[in-house]
Amino acid sequence: IENRLEKIEEAWESILYGLVIRNFVILFQSIFRKYILLPSLIITKNIICILLFQNPEWSEDFRDWRKEIHVKCTYQGVPTGSNALPIDWFWGGLQIRVLHPFVLKPWHNKPKVRST
């Protein structure tokens, strides 16, 4: 695995401004996933539920979506303490760690009410 990671790192460094391009791609992917792709999927899923005469699960889906956290880290993987970018992110690189990644569920399990 380390050999593979070294080859990937060398490939990015061999490209002119490779790390800068990589940094912007990573930031774009993080923002796109968190604020465009996942909300669009939630909306689409719930509209389909409505069209199929099922109960939509807006609140459950958005509650799970809010749990997803994107932590900005240095190129070596050390998290920055705040939501800010690392100091030398532009030239030194960055990584984004996703905590509690959101998974779109076709339906949520409702707690069963026991009758006595």
pLDDT in tens, the chain (116 residues): 678 878 877 887 788 888 888 889 999 999 999 999 999 999 999 999 999 998 999 999 999 999 999 999 888 888 887 777 877 888 778 889 999 999 998 877 776 666 66
Task: Give the count of beta carbons closer than 10 Å to the beta carbon of residue 43.
Answer: 14
State both tokens at 57.
């699960």
Cα separation of 35 and 30, whole Å? 8
What's the whole-model pTM score? 0.79
Domain boundaries, the chain: 2-99
What is the model's pLDDT at position 31?
93
Question: Tokens 């999927």 — which residue?
Answer: 41
What is the model's pLDDT at position 112?
65
Q: Is the separation of the CB atoms in 108 and 60 below 8 Å?
A: yes
What is the model's pLDDT at position 74?
84
Task: Give the count of beta carbons closer than 10 Å to the beta carbon of residue 61.
Answer: 21
Q: Mind giving me the DSSP string for the chain?
A: -HHHHHHHHHHHHHSTTHHHHHHHHHHHHHHHIIIIIHHHHHHHHHHHHHHTT----HHHHHHHHHT-EEEEEETTSPBPSSSSPPTTHHHH-EEEEEES-----SSPPPPPPPP-
